[in-house]
């Protein structure tokens, strides 16, 4: 039992949070950003099958006419915990939308 607990602790300590960040338009890595919207993504089979039947464009979450923006998708530790507990059947992520500060 002790080996199982130690193995699980090592497994969780070696995991990291999944992050992607897309810079669209005239945005640099160091540009100060302001969060304008966020949405949850519900997926099956480790993210391969989306549960949402409709595809939404980033413009649906941004102010009208916004050309420069950042889209960040991540899977936090709690999202990974849910994915692990369901053996990868359900794997949620969160997408946040940012625009440059004015």
Which helix (H) or strand (E) segment is 84 a member of? helix 77-85
Distance CA 94, CA 66 (A): 21
Q: Is residue 64 domain-resident? A: yes
Quote the pLDDT of residue 1. 84
Residue 81's nearest CA partner among 17, 5, 1, 7 is 17
pLDDT tens per residue, range 3-20:
888 877 776 666 666 788
Q: For residue 80, give its domain range.
A: 17-100
Does residue 31 lie in a domain region?
yes
Dihedrals phi, psi of 58, to nearest 5 degrees: -55, -30
CA distance 26 to 16: 29
Summarize pLDDT for 37-77 with one digit per residue, the tens. Answer: 888 888 888 777 888 766 677 777 888 888 888 989 888 88
Instruction: Write the pLDDT tens digit of every residue in 22-36.
Output: 888 888 888 888 888
Spatial contact of 67 and 25, defined as CB atoms under 8 Å apart: yes
Residue 75: per-residue pLDDT: 85
Report pLDDT for 98: 92
Instruction: Determine, yes or no, domain membership for 9.
Output: no
The pLDDT assigned to 59 comes to 78
Half-sphere exposure of 94 (CA within 13 A, CB side): 10
Report pLDDT for 86.
85
Count the domains in the chain.
Answer: 1
């Amino acid at each position: 039992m002790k080996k199982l607990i130690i193995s699980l602790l090592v497994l969780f300590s070696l995991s990291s949070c999944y992050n992607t960040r897309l810079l669209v338009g005239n945005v640099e890595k160091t540009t100060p950003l302001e969060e304008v919207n966020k949405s949850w993504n519900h997926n099956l089979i480790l993210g391969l099958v989306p549960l949402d039947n409709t595809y939404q464009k980033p413009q649906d979450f941004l102010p009208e006419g916004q050309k420069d923006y950042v889209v960040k998708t991540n899977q936090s530790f709690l999202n990974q915990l849910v994915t692990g507990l369901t053996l990868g059947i359900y794997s949620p992520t969160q997408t946040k939308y940012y625009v440059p500060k004015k």
